[in-house]
């Protein structure tokens, strides 16, 4: 069945802001006197803001009220957005623009579905917004991955059923969300790390054009 839509995760797929996230979490945890878990980068990949905070706080997560956690999440986000101010189109994933441009030329509808509330800002900084038909960010959903809500909303915005769309993801939670939602799940990996349950695996975005 020919795919009519492609839905991209953002961080780790169209760009890489993992280092910025990690630096912001480190600044926050140092202020709190908490050791940042060594696997924080992997465990928070594709996870929502408050869920990520609980991972970062570790055994101390229960020491904070929800209101305090919301304030800490906003503090971390302010630090992170400071890093994002330095993003330019050169920070896009290699050949991301060329891949999106060619897919559009072929008549494929394109969306970004991200748990990040900063997705619109990042896409503007990267100069990719005009190449997309829809953007669904963390502020538009109530359930994070592996719940498929973000992808289902993206498909609805493209006016396409999930079966006609592929989801490109770099996180295990995203692959699971895509499968739960009835999408074709494509794992994008540039390291030996493997994702299970994907329908296909690519190592360069241009492989979507094959």
Give pLDDT tens digits for 18-55: 889 899 999 999 999 999 999 998 888 767 789 999 99
Write out the residue limits of the CATH 3.40.50.1000 domain(s) in the chain: 5-16+89-209
Is 91 labeled as catalytic in the residue annotation? no
In the chain, ranges of CATH 1.10.150 domains: 18-84
CATH level 3 topology of 18-84? DNA polymerase; domain 1 (1.10.150)
Domain spanning 5-16+89-209: which superfamily?
HAD superfamily/HAD-like (3.40.50.1000)
pLDDT in tens, 129-183: 999 999 999 999 999 899 999 999 999 999 999 999 999 999 999 999 999 999 9
* Residues 47 and 55 sit within 8 Å (Cβ to Cβ): yes
List Cβ neighbours of 88 (8 Å cut-off, separation of 6 or more).
Answer: 125, 126
Out of 11, 91, 137, 170, the active site residue is: 11
DSSP 2: -
Torsion angle of C-alpha atoms 5, 8, 14, 19, degrees rounded to 10: 180
What pTM did the predictor assign?
A: 0.84
Catalytic residue of the set 9, 91, 137, 170: 9
H-state helical runs in 33-148: 40-43, 49-57, 66-84, 96-105, 119-126
133 is catalytic: no
């Amino acid at each position: 069945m020919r795919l009519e839509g492609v839905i991209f995760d953002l961080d780790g797929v169209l760009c890489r802001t993992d280092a910025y996230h990690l630096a912001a979490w480190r600044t926050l945890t140092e202020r709190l006197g908490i050791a940042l878990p060594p696997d924080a980068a992997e465990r928070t990949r594709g996870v929502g803001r408050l869920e990520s905070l609980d991972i970062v706080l570790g055994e101390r997560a229960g020491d904070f009220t929800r209101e305090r956690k919301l304030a800490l999440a906003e503090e971390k986000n302010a630090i992170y957005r400071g890093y994002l101010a330095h993003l330019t189109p050169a920070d896009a994933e290699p050949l991301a623009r060329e891949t999106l441009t060619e897919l559009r030329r072929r008549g494929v509808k394109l969306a970004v579905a991200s748990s990040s509330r900063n997705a619109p800002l990042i896409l503007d900084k990267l100069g990719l917004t005009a190449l997309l038909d829809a953007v669904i960010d963390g502020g538009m959903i109530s359930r994070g991955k592996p719940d498929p809500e973000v992808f289902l909303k993206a498909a609805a915005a493209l006016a396409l059923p999930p079966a006609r769309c592929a989801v490109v993801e770099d996180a295990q939670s995203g692959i699971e969300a895509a499968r739960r939602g009835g999408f074709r799940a494509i794992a994008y990996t540039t390291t030996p790390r493997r994702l299970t349950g994907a329908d296909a695996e690519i190592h360069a975005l241009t492989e979507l054009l094959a």
